[in-house]
Amino acid sequence: MNLKSFAKVCGLAVGLAASTSVWAIPAATVGDVDNFIASTLLPNSDPVTQENWADLQGVGDLTFITRIGIGEPDEDSGLEGTWELVDGTDDVYALFLEGYTPEYFLVKTGKNNNYPGDFRDFLYENIDSLGYAVIDLSEAGIDNIGKISHVTLFKGEGTVTVSEPASLALLGIALAGLGASRRRRQ
Ligand SMILES: [Ca+2]
């Protein structure tokens, strides 16, 4: 075998390895299946369009965080992820959310021919392990995992994060102020 054909065989081997991009991951690592909320067919995949629709699904006012590309990096965030089959299942998949812990996420797919309506936008509430999106394909009506193009992450409405020490300090300042104003009045 000459060098050129050896390089070709190597290239083929790398290509095969890359195409089997689904690996099994333990359920204990990724947590429970996240709550499927609603699906639709949006006119485009703009995050603003997605957020406006998500806001109407009874989950409060969501805020766009970022987007993770599947199979290729997202053009804006540069983030890329891979779905992994959850051990012991045949259609539950998990995606590591690149260190983000969103309360909600939207899965954007290509055509879903096997399901009525051909919905391509699927909204989930993120539960249990917030670092992973875990979805049941048949529950939502997604033909196969390879059809997912990207996942959009959202912050929930009730997540104004004030830490305990900070809120106690604020309460302390407020009480001190109240005390001071009472003393001035006397
Ligand atoms: Ca989760």
Record the tokens describing residue 54, joined without a space: 């998500």
The Cα–Cα gap between 154 and 79 comes to: 15
Residue 35 CA to ligand 1 centre (angstroms): 8
180 has pLDDT over 90: no
Spell out the alpha helix ranges (H) of the chain: 3-19, 27-30, 47-54, 137-140, 164-185
- Who has greater pLDDT, 13 or 50? 50
HEC profile for 68-97?
Answer: EEECCCCCCCCCEECEEEECCCCCEEEEEC
Residue 135 CA to ligand 1 centre (angstroms): 8
Record the tokens describing residue 43, joined without a space: 């006119």
**pLDDT category, 130, cuts 50, 70, 90?**
very high
Mean pLDDT for the stretch of residues 65-73? 97
Residue 182 CA to ligand 1 centre (angstroms): 50
The type of residue at 73 is: P
Q: What percent of the chain has pLDDT over 70?
A: 76
Record the tokens describing residue 19, joined without a space: 């195409």
Residue 100 CA to ligand 1 centre (angstroms): 11
- Who has greater pLDDT, 147 or 158? 147
Mean pLDDT for the stretch of residues 122-143? 97
Mean pLDDT for the stretch of residues 171-178? 72
162 has pLDDT over 60: no
pLDDT at 77: 97
Mean of the per-residue pLDDT values for the chain? 87
pLDDT at 167: 67
21 has pLDDT over 50: no
**In sequence order, what are the residues at sequence separation of 6 or more whose Cβ sits closer than 8 angstroms to the Cβ of residue 149?**
45, 69, 70, 71, 108, 109, 110
